[in-house]
Amino acid sequence: MNVESEMNVKIYADGAALQHISELANDKAISGFTTNPTLMRQAGVDNYEVFAHKAIEIVSPRPISLEVFSDDFAEMRTQAMKIASWGANVFVKIPITNTKGESSLPLVADLTKNGVKVNVTAVFTIQQIDDTATALAGTAGSNISVFAGRIADAGIDPSPYVSRAVACSAAVGNCEVIWASPREVLNVVQADQLGCHIITVTPDLLKKLVNIGKDLGVYSLDTVKMFYNDASAAGYTI
């Protein structure tokens, strides 16, 4: 299956390695990009602004989400306004709460009124989804990132959460839902079936998307061949 032509869900590449971002910027199947401080640290980024400006330039005009990293709401606002000024394609990621569990939604509402395109991230609960939609009223463009993969890690079906967010986003207008932290290719299909607008995909998962719609009989034979070839290459005998 060709993801670009046969599915409505948009693929956003998730990562912080500039070389990989550059490669994917040439892929028409990639509609946007996301990153976060954890991914940046793992990629060895040591200067936030230098990285951000390079990434924005590489992916433009496609959207890219860059996250604030303060735990203080006043400083978060300062960071958000600065990040937003870096490009028309920039979405500012605001975590749903700070580390004390205090809601970030008053800040989200303030930024929204000031024309900042916000990506509300780390959204897990129905209440958070509903409250986020309220805070985004009048948005010029926004995302609600439902961490469906981590919800599933808790043994809970994320589908009702994503569906609720999709319905809320329709009521808000100019708002798209992101299926964040996917764990497998099936999640891409699930996101598409639920009408989710975007799914973030890591480099490892991107490589597997070519298997969507693959004939299972062919897949079975390919798997048998893999086992045989690896055993032969290892020179196993009994």
pLDDT over 90 at 118, yes or no: yes
**Cα(114)–Cα(23) distance, rounded to whole angstroms?**
34
Question: Mean pLDDT in the chain?
Answer: 96
The radius of gyration of the chain's CA atoms, rounded to the nearest angstrom, is: 19
**Cα(74)–Cα(190) distance, rounded to whole angstroms?**
38
**Cα(154)–Cα(225) distance, rounded to whole angstroms?**
36
Catalytic site residue from 93, 117, 214, 225? 93
Phi, psi of 111 (to 5 degrees): -65, -40
Confidence at residue 89, expressed as pLDDT on a 0 to 100 scale: 97
Place of tokens 């045989």: 228
pLDDT over 80 at 1, yes or no: no
180-220 pLDDT per residue, tens: 999 999 999 999 999 999 999 998 898 899 889 899 999 99
Q: Write down the pTM of the prediction.
A: 0.92
Place of tokens 């999640």: 187
Amino acid at 167: A
Confidence at residue 65, expressed as pLDDT on a 0 to 100 scale: 98
Q: Give the length of the chain.
A: 238
Domain 3-213 belongs in CATH node 3.20.20.70: yes
The number of beta carbons lying within 10 Å of the beta carbon of residue 26 is: 8
Is 207 a known active-site residue? no
Amino acid at 194: L
33-71 pLDDT per residue, tens: 999 999 999 999 999 999 999 999 999 999 999 999 999
Q: Where are the domains of the chain?
A: 3-213
Confidence at residue 68, expressed as pLDDT on a 0 to 100 scale: 98
